Amino acid sequence: MIRIDAHPTHHRDGFDLRIGKPLPFGATIVPGGVNFSVFSRHATACELLLFRKNEDEPYATIPFLDEFHIGNVFCMTVFNLEIEEIDYGYRMDGPCNFKSGQWFNREKILMDPYARLVGGRDEWGVTPDWNKKYQHRSRIFFDDFDWADDMAPDIPMEDLVIYEMHVRGFTRHSSSGMKYPGTFATIQEKIPYLKDLGINCIELLPIHEFDEFENERISPVTGKPLLNYWGYSQVGFFAPKAGYAATGKFGMQIDELKATIKALHHEGIEVILDVVFNHTAEGNENGPYISYRGIDNNTYYMLTPEGYYYNFSGCGNTLNCNNPIVRSMILDCLRYWVYEYHVDGFRFDLASILGRDQNGAPMANPPLLETLAFDPILGKCKLIAEAWDAGGLYQVGSFPSWGRWAEWNGKYRDDIRKFLKSEGGTGGMAQRIQGSPDLYGWRGPNASINFITCHDGFTLMDLVSYNGKHNEANGENNRDGGDDNLSWNCGIEGATRDAAVNALRRKQIKNGVTLLMVSRGVPMILYGDEAGRTQEGNNNTYCQDNELAWFDWDLLETNREIFEYFKKIIAFRHAHPVLRSNAFFRNSDYVGSGYADISWHGTNAWNADFSPSSRCLAFMLCGKHAKQGRERDNDIYTAMNMHWEMHVFELPRLPEDRKWHVFANTDMIPPHDICDPGEEIVLQNQGEILVGPRSVIVLVGK
């Protein structure tokens, strides 16, 4: 059977053309040519512009003929294009009326919203030529990567240990010793490190194409250039960040990222992307035309009745997520990342915006969130919401979920931090340790992504080294970044040579990660915390593309004891199914073991003190209740003393055939602070244990 559609029907200015297919949107390679398809509801005319790579003037301008306009879609196949050698863009004509939200300008060259490859910032940090009219350039690429037998690891949520990572920050520091530092490819080189640490999922800060030069400036304090380092401002949602690929200068970032994900999967590591659908890099009324605003401004953005941009994102504009067109684009985009890149999940930045209607009001059942929850292609994807936005909507515990969505549990972070700094709150701690049933009662503990630190805020070392933020280097007079850090500097602000303070800081770090790993829910750690990474008190390094934010790998030697502790406590979590489940504890004995699945203790066994000022709490997990009784495990007892005095904790008595063994005691000096799982040493006194000041002890009953 011979197809007859690889044949032009129209000839114009030396180009062979044919009516295109409206779907899929974007530029798609078809037999003999490329199918271009772009939506605009209000445009009256559209032109396709073809450029030789990186040239400022197009070598061809091809109008979409009237017969190439189907509904609100312009679609055309152009034959015989040298696809590797060209960039393409659109120009649209239509009404320009601020109050009605229409910004058509036929002088502006527009990136394709569905561009799967975007040029213009091919190498990170190479200053762009701002005189060029077309900065972010749509390109065409093959979607033909050879995945061979790649399969999603499909790790149950409760078994994940997530590692939040900035692609560039992870290996850009000279100490990483890598040939192509700061790239996707180099993550592959570091897989042995990630496995050694014990994590099984990486969550990447935004990797969609963004402009690191957006709002570029010089720090008045340090004299260093400040860039859009984190990248929470997307140019194109379908394209990977070229500057994160060692092969970006050759336009091969798509293959490089796919090869990286394939390599991670091969080693049993999942990949979650941090996606930013709440706004775009086009900013407010004074921002540039990149794409959306020139294609259909009042479709893509939420606008006030006067035509201004709503700013629920804090970044100048708000994507109109519950407009049906934008909703479809987001769904197309996420599906694309799943089926083309084999991505395992998404974390949605300021996800509450995705639940606002077109006028900005929060909805009870937002169609976008429901669509994502039930979409077949996203069916096994992890969906994680940052359940708040910059417009004051805070939905931790109440984010519309349909049983599918998990949340960054900000209350976990805050309650653990308060408890760590000796503010008490054993009642809150009991909730957090159990997976926050007070928040996720009907959803299960897997809805709770537990974390103490993330990219946004202090690193774990800084959390125990600074009382206040020190963001002067950002050049905003220290006004940026959160003020409610719930941090404690252990006596001296910032770096010190005081041995006692440093020892306490290390202990507090170990306390924190221990609580994280014995809590029900899904633990997430911030890259570098396992080595005591510091940002010198800066809790908002969004613009710091330098040593302040990059992971200094030499810290692994300096802080070897922290790294060793992380490894072992993570291994402990993996070793003990009683710690991992998507069922809440029932606080009762339902398998006839003689012990409740979880029991609460204090300095006296069976008698927890939940008064507001209490700083001592202990709990015991009954191993016979592991996985609701389906698996056998050891008993685990954790004592937490966040008082500055030591306390004796009376231990719950075990049956004759079992004894308490010490797995971790953060008050001890290494190597006695923690052991390898299974190597625990029997406790001499089975009746009680001395818990040092601000210390955590983990015992195993076997």
Partner 1 sequence: MESRFKVMHSNNTVKVTLQGRLDAVNSPSLSDELAKLKGKAIGNIVFFAKDLEYISSAGIRVIVFAKQKIGENSKIYLIGASETILDVIKMTGLANFMIVQDAYSD
- Binding residues for partner 1 (CB under 8 A): 82-85, 141-142, 144-146, 179-180, 184-185, 188, 245-247, 250-252, 255-256, 258-260, 262-263
Describe the crossing of helices 426-433 and 499-518 by its angle, rounded to 10 degrees: 50
**Interatomic CA distance for residues 344 and 155, integer angstroms:** 9
Locus of tokens 């997430």: 524
The nearest distance, CB 124 to partner 1, in angstroms, is 15
Q: Work out whether strand 270-275 and strand 345-348 pair parallel, antiparallel, or are unpaired.
A: parallel
The nearest distance, CB 551 to partner 1, in angstroms, is 21
Among residues 246 and 272, whose Cβ is nearest to partner 1? Answer: 246
Per-residue exposure over 568-593, b if at least 16 CB sit within 10 Å of its own CB, e if not: bbbbbbebbbbbbbbebbeeeeeeee
Catalytic residue among 211, 274, 349, 597: 349
The nearest distance, CB 347 to partner 1, in angstroms, is 25
Among residues 122 and 633, whose Cβ is nearest to partner 1? Answer: 122
Locus of tokens 């030591």: 646
Catalytic residue among 189, 386, 530, 667: 386
Identify the three-state secondary structure at position 558: helix
The nearest distance, CB 255 to partner 1, in angstroms, is 4
**Interatomic CA distance for residues 668 and 89, integer angstroms:** 63
**Burial of 374: CB neighbours in 10 Å, binned 0-12, 13-18, 19+:** exposed
The nearest distance, CB 141 to partner 1, in angstroms, is 7
- Amino acid type, 525: I
Among residues 108 and 258, whose Cβ is nearest to partner 1? Answer: 258
Token pair, residue 647, equals 């306390």
Among residues 249 and 411, whose Cβ is nearest to partner 1? Answer: 249
The DSSP line for 584-619 is ---SS-SSSSSS-SEEEESSBTTB---STT--EEEE
Which H or E element spans position 417? helix 410-420
The residue among 69, 59, 80 whose CA lies nearest residue 11 is 80
Measured CA distances, 338 to 141, 152, 346, 555 (Å): 17, 10, 10, 35
**Interatomic CA distance for residues 247 and 570, integer angstroms:** 34
**Interatomic CA distance for residues 109 and 91, integer angstroms:** 5
Measured CA distances, 233 to 34, 182, 458 (Å): 29, 19, 21
The nearest distance, CB 17 to partner 1, in angstroms, is 20
* Cα dihedral value 607, 608, 612, 617, nearest 10: 150
The nearest distance, CB 35 to partner 1, in angstroms, is 18
Token pair, residue 392, equals 């004051």
The DSSP line for 674-697 is B--TT-PEEPS-SSEEEE-TTEEE
Locus of tokens 């990660």: 513
Question: Radius of gyration of the chain from Cα atoms?
Answer: 27
Among residues 5 and 82, whose Cβ is nearest to partner 1? Answer: 82
How far does Cα 367 stand from its chain's mean position? 23
- Distance spanning both ends of the chain, measured CA to CA: 70
Locus of tokens 């990977």: 240
The nearest distance, CB 118 to partner 1, in angstroms, is 15
Among residues 141 and 488, whose Cβ is nearest to partner 1? Answer: 141
Q: Quick check: is 349 catalytic?
A: yes
Describe the crossing of helices 560-575 and 499-518 by its angle, rounded to 10 degrees: 20
Q: Quick check: is 476 catalytic?
A: no
The nearest distance, CB 251 to partner 1, in angstroms, is 7
The nearest distance, CB 227 to partner 1, in angstroms, is 24
Among residues 185 and 562, whose Cβ is nearest to partner 1? Answer: 185
Sequence-separated (6 or more) residues with CB below 8 Å from residue 171: 178, 181, 182, 183, 186, 187, 189, 190, 551
Catalogue the active-site residues: 349, 386
